Amino acid sequence: MPRFAFKIEYHGAPFAGWQRQSGQPSVQGAIEAALAKLEPGPHTIAAAGRTDAGVHATAQVAHADLVKPWDPFRLSEALNWHLKPEPVAIVACAQVEDDFHARFSAQERRYLFRLIQRRAPVTHDRGLVWQVLNPLDVDAMRAGAAHLIGHHDFTTFRSSMCQSASPVKTLDEIRIEEIAIPHGREIRFHLRARSFLHNQVRSIVGTLERVGAGAWAPEDVHRALEARDRAACGPVCPPQGLYLCGVGYPNNPFTA
């Protein structure tokens, strides 16, 4: 059976998350239903990351085994037709080797979190960003973020429902970018690691926002990390500003 990899873009608002759930809309369920229109029967696709309810993606990666030797372009076009009107799109498709696995072959994941700081309500980006009304000190947030880069026990920054076997992860990068926008600023948090814990990114961004607001000192982030206690974490920020924006593999299946 030929195996195909898909690069997927979606707006997370209508979904209960990536993972298929009984009685609730999911991104996985929408794509599997579209596949069933092309090849009747049950389909199960595996993804690089299971995004939560309300979280978006610009470059989620998943794979599926099909019966027919589809031309990848025609397969992506057919899937996009059957995905309408869901806010899900196959932006790239490639046939891959049988040992390719969207989750287990991945060497890194990249997330973007978008925060807009301005007084007036957001209009065009509503549902796509986290809005904060008061000014934030970006340099202080960068100083706080520096304490989290590297190999650490991230118990403080993971959900109590996290199913990972270990809280120890290596966070390779936190880059905080500041962009001027009309009547305010957009602050973008770029995070990169081989893998992330459940709610890790939102816990980190929510904590760094407290640093930017002056409620925490940058050194408090280090103390929270060392506490290895979920209660020491800052507030978990809302999901609508979070995007899965890249997955890295030893050989990029979409470069052909």
Q: Which residues are catalytic?
A: 52
- CA nearest neighbour of 256 among 66, 5, 61, 59: 5
Query: Distance between CA 32 and CA 125 in Å, rounded?
Result: 29
- CA nearest neighbour of 188 among 58, 6, 37: 58
Length of the chain, in residues = 256
Query: Distance between CA 110 and CA 47 in Å, rounded?
Result: 14
Q: Are 243 and 55 in contact (CB under 8 A)?
A: yes
Full DSSP string of 12-57? -TTSSBSS-BTTB--HHHHHHHHHHHHS-S----EES--PBTT-EE
Q: Interior CA angle at 192 toward 246 and 227, to 5°? A: 140
